[in-house]
Structure 1
Amino acid sequence: MAEAEKRRLSLRDVLTDGRIALMLPLGFSSGLPFLLVFSTLSAWLREAGISLTVIGLMSWVALAYSFKFLWAPIVDRYDVPVLSNLLGRRRGWMALAQLGVAAGLIGMAASNPQSGLPLTIACAVLVAFASATQDVVIDGWRIDAAPTERQGMMAAGLLLGYRLALITAGAGALYIAEFVNWPSAYLAMAALMGVGLIGTLLAPKIDEGPARQRLPLAKAIVEPLSDLFRRKGMMLVPILALIACYRIPDYASGIMANPLYIDLGFSKADIANVSKLYGVWIGIIGAFAGGLALTRIGLWWPLLIGAVIAAGSNLMFSWLASGNATLWNLTLSISVDNFAGGFAGAALVAYMSGLTAPGFAATQYALLSSLYALPGKLIGGASGVVVEAYGYPALFTSTAAIAIPLVLLCLVVRRDTMKTVEKKEDRVLIDDSPPVAAAR
């Protein structure tokens, strides 16, 4: 009875914790810029008559999210002049990053992709870099602001805000572009960065002490990798190959999804309704289904199933592009793809989290999550070349074929995966990285 009462008190205390409420605006600010330099931007560029090759290459601006671990130690250990004196180190970096995102979005709104594409690209790079920096500092503030036992609720608040931002930057921006114009859409998104700035100003100042020890950057990156190799040995090679290839189908084809919809004649309102509103929720359902599967049948089977269905779902877009462009078929294709992507994402997050070790968990997870995103983004940059040379069906069919090596890699790591499950307690896992399926 006493233990039950203690749990009830802890729950009530958590639900009234203002720090958790602050994760909503901070999560919103974190999620808002991503689609604006990814799939939403690709729709604007395609409507402006930009070639698919250039649109594919433009997706590389999102590589900033994959390389953010390189400058994370700088954000973690150095103060921002003036702002850190006023707000503290964490909040100073937050404010600077949010202002940088807003400035980049205003610059994109002022540019004209048809006559001034270099300016659009430069501003998109600024948005991506500032947004990735914001993600680093928000995670740092979240970890510093609350003890371990509250981090689950802190991450849940962040995730909810992030998903709401995806709807805003996806469907919301498309609606504004449809009924007003693209510059107005991006100016509205720049104004909405004020939500995160308000959250930053309301957040408590938690880093009043002196600057942290300035460890060598190379040492901060190499030691976690050395730990992985010591524990996994040569098995680390197929493990890293599996992680690197697992989401390639999503990234390689995701950048071409919006241009496909536009080329098939769907309106921006149709894309917003089906892909950016309905599709986001289907992706969330898929993630919950993946999480439930993890609790019922263990880790390896969901990992294998996710690899097959996430890659295979790209066949739906190949089918859609082959003379089946109706609104119902668009809805069906996005349903299959987003559910599969959400399911696979939950399995991969669980797998990568199980590979981490105490003392290195944050750094190792950051490195692994960067690894899974990097190859797909690099390959995705060439997706426009493939479409222009061979057509949409060829692209989506070839990305679906990646399921074959993924299945083989899953079979190779099966025994090691079983050992990982035996050594780790079950735990709640929440991924706050940009969901690719929802970005379509």
Structure 2
Amino acid sequence: MTQETKAVEGWRSTSRNLLDRRVISMLFLGFSAGIPLLLIFSSLSLWLREAGVERNEVTFFSWAALAYSFKFVWAPLIDKLPLPFLTRWLGRRRGWMLTAQLGIIGAILLMSAVDPAGDADSLVRMALAAVLLGFSAATQDIVIDAFRIESAPPRLQALMSSTYIAGYRVGMVASGAGALILASSFGSEAGSYSYAAWQSTYHIMASVMLIGVFTTLFVHEPETSAARAHAYPTSEYLRLTGTFIVVACAFVAAFFLSDGLFTQLKALAGDGNLTNFLLELLHLASAVGAAVLAGWSMVQAGAINRSTARETWIEPVLDFFSRYGLKTALLILALVGLYRISDIVLGVISNVFYQDIGFTKPQIATAVKTFGVFVSIAGGLLGGLLASRYGVMRILLLGAALSSAAQLTFVALALVGPNLLMLYIAVGADNLVAGLASAAFVAFLSSLTSVSFTAVQYAIFSSLMTLLPKLLGGYSGSIVDGIGYPGFFVFTCVIGIPVIGLVWLAGRKLSIDGQARAKT
């Protein structure tokens, strides 16, 4: 068989894997995961504004999505706690998945039952329902990530990541643009608010979640999940849950109660972006410290068994460092925290940029929300195919290089102004590369997890992935004010260059063969 024939057969084999039922199931689970987020952000924001809610009150509702950033806090419980009846019926992963999906449906229905234009308590009820939606959606993400990693061999992980991302994007379109179209068609517009229109829209969004429910019922429980089922006395599970509640409350209380102090520190420090960024990190670290102190105090007081606490929260972290060693583990964490820094920092201000240089809202919506989404889906599928064919690390390196280079198309757009062709080139390049890089990156993160702590470790990685870029992205407006848009996009290009070096170093340290392992 010639080399060319082998290559063709290799591509055919990779393409056939796209039809594997496990790969296809991730398309529908990805769709289920993509539905909730925009029902908290853009769609809910527009609903509240049409109902006459003040803009500053509308922005508070974004806090309901904080669960996505801190899901690693309760991910250990997903690995430990069985659910009455559901765990025996469906298994550990599917039982939790169904519970999260029913929680999402219930939260959406609760939101639909509240008219934000009603009495003063209506916003409180809406906020509580939105918090429940954010918590349930983040829990679903934890379980789906663990289910994806455990349900298929390494050769399918890249393709499963790409179909998951494709489904997620479609779900976001359905709950974003789809929800707005539905509300408009039912008769709610700015200046002509209709509660019934939004109520019907959210009812439909709740029913759409049944796609995820039916998928959960028809897929198979991963064998590794069943083999690792834990058995503790009921009292121990109750103590574990109580400890988590105390730790979570300590984190939230410390974060919000110290907000005033850190705001004053920022004011004293002046307008320095770097100083403010470091203070934000310190703010977050102080809340994490308060949570750790609360957990330690609970253990010292005997509220939870020491060995249970260690196995739940400490061993997943120790396992990661013991498998890779301190130097390699720190290298991996740096790569995880910085890999998507260029496109996330740019994405924070991209829509403002399009509007500032003269594009209309319909032009932006068509280019970004329609064309960009489909290009990103194509990029994700391409990334999955390439990673399956040529290996995750090679495509990870390609994605890092292209992500940095794609920023230069925005420099060109900033210089030429509102040129529609250039807009589509920039949006297309950005979304194609982001899709390709994301598929390889998710497969890479999946390979890093230990089968003993899948949910916990992946939750930590996925939270770390967006934490630093989002914190830095919060200062993108100030950076633009200082150096202008062309300079800002050169900056986003430059900060992506060190990532290429991190991927290269990681490629030398790691051997990706199903699960990443430190070279010996």
- Equivalent positions of 1:12-411 (< 5 A) are 22-41=25-44, 59-84=62-87, 87-109=90-112, 110-112=114-116, 118-142=124-148, 158-180=164-186, 181=188, 183=198, 184-204=200-220, 211-213=229-231, 216-227=311-322, 230=325, 233=327, 237=330, 240-255=333-348, 257=350, 266-267=360-361, 273-287=366-380, 295=390, 298=394, 301-309=397-405, 311-312=407-408, 315=411, 324=418, 330-346=423-439, 348-349=441-442, 352=445, 364-380=457-473, 386=477, 398=488, 401-408=491-498, 410-411=500-501
Q: Give me the whole-angstrom Cα distance separating, in 1, the residues matched to 2:227 and 2:396.
A: 44
- CA distance change for structure 1 residues 242 and 310 in 2, over 3 Å: closer, same or farther? farther
Whether the aligned pair in 2 keeps the contact of 1:283 and 1:341 (CA below 8 Å) is: yes
CA distance in 1, matches of 2:480, 2:507: 41
Give the conservation status (yes or no) of the 8 Å contact 1:291–1:347: yes
CA distance 1:226–1:119, shift in 2 (3 Å): same
Structure 1 position 243, deviation (Å): 3.2
- Aligned residues of 2:341 and 2:469 also touching (Cα < 8 A): yes
The higher radius of gyration belongs to 2
Question: By how many angstroms is 1:97 displaced?
Answer: 0.9
* Alpha-carbon shift at residue 165 of structure 1 (Å): 1.8
Q: Which runs of 5+ in 2 are unaligned?
A: 189-196, 233-307, 516-520
Task: Supply the distance in 1 between the matched residues of 2:426 and 2:339 (Cα, whole angstroms).
Answer: 20
Paired amino acid for 1:188: I
Relative to the length of structure 1, the TM-score reads 0.70
Once the two structures are TM-superposed, the CA of residue 162 in structure 1 deviates from its matched residue by 3.0
TM-score normalized by structure 2? Answer: 0.61
Q: In the aligned structure 2, how far is the partner of 1:59 from the partner of 1:51?
A: 14
| Equivalent residue, structure 1, for 2:269 | none
- After superposition, where does 1:412-423 map in structure 2 within 5 Å? 413=502, 416-420=505-509, 423=511
Aligned residues: 410
Question: Partner of 1:435 in structure 2?
Answer: none
Q: Output the CA distance in 2 between the equivalents of 1:136 and 1:418.
A: 27
Compared with structure 1, are the counterparts of its residues 105 and 18 closer, same or farther at alpha carbon in structure 2 (3 Å cutoff)?
same
**C-alpha RMSD over aligned residues:** 4.9
Tell me, in whole angstroms, the C-alpha distance in 2 between the residues paired with 1:316 and 1:48: 40
Other structure's SS at 1:401 match: helix
Cα–Cα, structure 1 residues 86 and 354, in superposed 2: closer, same or farther, change >3 Å? closer
Distance 1:418 1:194 in 2: 41
Against the structure 1 CA distance between its residues 188 and 247, is the aligned structure 2 distance closer, same or farther, given a 3 Å change threshold?
same
1:395-427, Cα deviation, whole Å (9 max, x unpaired): 89647524323324544x366234146x44599
Partner SS, residue 212 of structure 1 = coil
Structure 1 pair 21/355, CA: closer, same or farther in 2 (3 Å)?
A: closer
Which runs of 5 or more residues in structure 1 are unaligned? Answer: 428-440
Judge conservation of contact 2:149–2:454 (CA < 8 Å) in 1.
no
Which residue does the alignment assign to 2:303? none
Q: Confirm or deny: 8 A CA contact 2:409 2:425 kept in the other structure.
A: no
1:95 positional shift: 2.3
**Quick one: which amino acid aligns to residue 76 of structure 1?**
D
Please tell me whether the aligned partners of residues 356 and 364 of structure 1 are also in contact (alpha carbons under 8 angstroms).
yes
